[in-house]
Chain A
């Protein structure tokens, strides 16, 4: 986890990270109780450690089939955790405010906006991102929805696409893909500025009618 050690990365186990958090916390409490020491500590750059002690929390989450034991800041969103710490950059940031759907992932099977989800709230959950939807990669099998997006050209720049596909899969699973109009309604949280909507709806209806398991 090279450059991200300071913010987290994998720790040996959640238990041990919890222990070390407690240990650091008590060290910190001691510093706070003795202000002059704390001042000196700050001068020596220990404020970083103090901050880290406050900022880091343990998190266990399964992402795309891999169990992660992490130590992260509580204010980190699931989106930034995926992108900046786990390097799963298929999930995109389009607004960071739950307004565009570019960051749509599945948490325990339900579609959520990863930017509106604090990573800490996924404790014990299973997260699926576009990278985990199928084998994918340069040659692996595609999920039927991925294949349908290619067939119907359901994208242009491709930036909203991971979110559209994750949403589309959920849309069918939820039972909200019974007509093009219903799909339009239930996909309206996913903006495509390139305007591939008509083709996206075709792709979803195609998968739905094809009856493939999504």
Chain B
């Protein structure tokens, strides 16, 4: 365990870059002779291209090429699986269809690229793209999940199929039962930065890529496969990424296409997709319908839960996520069954979106818990406490750490839970009904493999190197704190170099796992340096000879004996005396087998106060408290920001976010930020964040678990529960828009 130094709330290390406009995102890089490309999308959702007229576009000024399925340069590695998620490329479960960009006239989703127009300026490419005309042979289109739920198939792999503990139908005979259906619409990540890529073949087989990716190593690997290149010849740089929320967890086909075209035209090529293309080309949270059956005894002990989820996926790829998992381990319940199905539709493929399936599942489970608490006439926290479990009932093993009870209690105090009336619809202030709601969230705490290099110079400065990308959570700041805590180097003498494949390999930023993974590597490399310094000081003839290693402390560049502070040596003197200008250590780090003995999860509890206007159906979140039980908080300031960001995302998920399809055409009708409503300033109140901040003794030397996902998971349920408490009406279809509230209140 890391010696428990204080973790002061330091400013974000890249703050100055971000407030001055100095931070460079992929589209900000300026390469001489860059050409620009614009994607033309299909206007139908299923069928094939009958004719494609590119002549006018080709003749337009500045056009360097129009690439379609008829003339697309080959991508030699198409037959290799192009993945690029979490731990590198993984083969996708095969369906009967394949989708390879610009490889055939076949159309599998609306907006599917049918041409990429390249010109010497963005304006010219945009204009020329408007001149590409296609006609189509249409086929019947299936895009409505509700109509095709019965076509659900059990996906292959870990997240697929069925789970059973005890008896599947035990809930049926319980004294108190509940059956409820919940719907999550398509939500779109919509990071503020538009997706794209800047690709530059610097030599025949050497590639430089500025990407919008959550993992430079994953992009490197995907491109190496696609172009059959040695990964060493592919350099990927993503130091700054303007938000990802999951859409950058894989390499998308259009990125590969741009790289192929850049090679063909022999110029650097930049793609920045439009906001509307963000809805079809880079994934989304899948439309999911869920049914929860729950049974409890009259004392509020759960007897059985059955949780079934059916989600949409593309016709050409089975995307799966852990929608039903929380139900398996969250509560002490002897009988639990879950079922997960996919329906293949004529839609582009989904991808994990913040909190992914767990957020979808938590909305259903935590709404159902609230509904059941109401049936039992119990306080929702009390109901959860009656079914609290200290060990994981799914795997029959202990949690590595769990302080959820404390989280319930502290959150309840902060929101003023005592002001909540268990009788719904009983508090009114002027025109508004007031309600309180809460919900639990949980997400796996991972410890992935990662490496990091630490360079400690004799002048006292320290550099951390890792390929990891910081998409916004404050990774660099957290790594700085870890190095500071191990080596006592002042934070302003620490520099972090990251987001580049020239640096030690790191996993993709996702799964709330980066502080745990890369942080451990930084910890290990710093510890190796500390050990070496101690060795130099303690050895015969050394300045602290005769002392014991465990008596030493290291702070502010001075190694000293803890009980006799006069016995000390400056690190710089020690290094100089040994003719060292730099100490340089690279460490690979991963958890040991002992981790397998525990279930490792982060937990959160979200509390909200809402106001509902019964005249208009408008719901406003007026107070929010989010509590994180995510182990030791390494960087308090950026961690708090992650939590408030989850609240903003959660308010959008609960109240406004919904990508609406016109099923006649299989097309989104609100594919822009004016019509797809993410939360804006006016939607988000002041937020209180509470960190339990107790180290997890198992997961990693810092004791830190992740928090990116739990910041969002459960939040929408808390809002739905608060709306019920305010009005006595339950909205089970997100988002909770005024029309739904009015319909219920009518």
Please list the residues of chain A having a beta carbon within 8 angstroms of any beta carbon in chain B: 2-3, 6-7, 47-48, 51-52, 55, 73, 75-76, 80, 83-84, 87-97, 99-100, 102, 129-131, 134, 136-138, 142, 146-147, 149-151, 153, 155-162, 165, 180, 183-185, 187-201
Contact = CB atoms under 8 A, between A and B. Distances in A.
Nearest to A165: B19
B47 interface: no
The interface centre, meaning the residue of A52, A91, A191 with most chain B CB atoms within 10 A of its CB, is A191
- 8 smallest CB-CB distances across A and B, nearest first, come from A90-B21, A195-B648, A159-B242, A158-B18, A157-B472, A51-B61, A156-B472, A195-B645
B684 A197 contact: yes
A151 B12 CA distance: 9
Contacts of B27: 83, 89, 93
Contacts of B28: 83, 89
Contact of B192 (A55, A185, A192, A201): A192
Interface string B190-226: 1111100000000000000000000000000000000
Contacts of A99: 275, 672-674
A198 B33 CA distance: 42
Contacts of A51: 61-62
Contacts of B242: 92, 157-160
Given A48-B61, A99-B674, A184-B682, A3 B192 contact: no
B227 interface: no
Contacts of B421: none
Contact of B20 (A6, A137, A187): A137
Contacts of B12: 150, 153, 155
A17 to B, nearest CB: 18
Interface in B550-608: none
Contact of A6 (B121, B122, B680): B121
A29 B638 CA distance: 62
B192 A100 contact: yes
Contacts of A159: 25, 191-193, 240, 242-243
A51 B674 CA distance: 35
Contacts of B638: 153, 156
A90 B28 CA distance: 8
Contacts of B19: 130, 136, 142, 146-147, 149-150, 155, 158, 161-162, 165
B61 A188 contact: no
B686 A180 contact: yes
Contact of A153 (B191, B274, B637, B684): B637
Contacts of B17: 158
Contacts of B123: 7, 73, 75-76, 80
B538 interface: no
Given A90-B21, A102-B192, A48 B243 contact: no
B499 interface: no
B275 A80 contact: no
Contacts of B471: 157
A39 to B, nearest CB: 13
Interface string B671-687: 01110001111101111
Nearest to B242: A159
B387 to A, nearest CB: 31
Given A94-B275, A150-B12, A198 B472 contact: no
B30 to A, nearest CB: 6
A21 B471 CA distance: 46
B23 interface: yes
B424 interface: no
Interface in B134-167: none
A184 B681 contact: yes
Interface string B219-250: 00000000000000000000011110100000
B686 A193 contact: no
A73 B60 CA distance: 15
A150 B61 contact: no
A131 B21 CA distance: 6
The interface centre, meaning the residue of B15, B19, B644, B673 with most chain A CB atoms within 10 A of its CB, is B19
A97 B672 contact: yes
A3 B32 contact: yes
B646 interface: yes
Nearest to B684: A197
A190 B640 CA distance: 21
B38 to A, nearest CB: 12
B702 to A, nearest CB: 21
State the majority secondary structure of interface residues on A: loop
B44 interface: no
B686 to A, nearest CB: 6
12 contacts: A75-B127, A89-B24, A94-B192, A95-B275, A146-B19, A156-B473, A157-B241, A161-B18, A185-B682, A187-B681, A193-B243, A197-B681
The interface centre, meaning the residue of A138, A162, A193 with most chain B CB atoms within 10 A of its CB, is A193
B595 to A, nearest CB: 29
A195 B12 CA distance: 16
B357 interface: no
A156 to B, nearest CB: 4
B11 A190 contact: no
B16 A142 contact: yes
Contacts of A83: 27-28
Given A87-B30, A165-B19, A153 B11 contact: yes
Contacts of B679: 195, 197
Given A95-B673, A201-B681, A195 B20 contact: no
Contacts of B275: 94-97, 99-100
B681 A199 contact: no
A188 B121 contact: no
B434 interface: no
A47 B16 CA distance: 46
Interface string B629-660: 00000000110111011111100000000000
A149 B472 CA distance: 15
Nearest to A72: B123
Interface in B660-707: 672-674, 678-682, 684-687
Contacts of B516: none
The interface centre, meaning the residue of B18, B121, B194, B679 with most chain A CB atoms within 10 A of its CB, is B18
B16 A150 contact: yes
Contact of B474 (A100, A156, A201): A156
Given A97-B672, A100-B192, A195 B680 contact: no
B272 interface: yes
B192 A195 contact: no
A193 B190 contact: yes
B22 interface: yes
A129 to B, nearest CB: 7
B679 to A, nearest CB: 7
B169 interface: no
Given A195-B644, A201-B681, A201-B686, 8 more contacts: A83-B28, A84-B122, A89-B28, A99-B674, A158-B18, A159-B193, A183-B681, A191-B192
Nearest to B30: A87
B710 to A, nearest CB: 14
B34 interface: yes
A142 B17 CA distance: 11
B299 to A, nearest CB: 40
A199 B673 contact: no
B449 interface: no
Given A3-B34, A93-B27, A94-B275, A155 B18 contact: yes
Contacts of B640: 153
B645 A194 contact: yes
A132 to B, nearest CB: 9
Contacts of B179: none
B20 A188 contact: no
A185 B20 CA distance: 25
Contacts of B685: 198
Given A195-B648, A197-B684, A137 B22 contact: yes
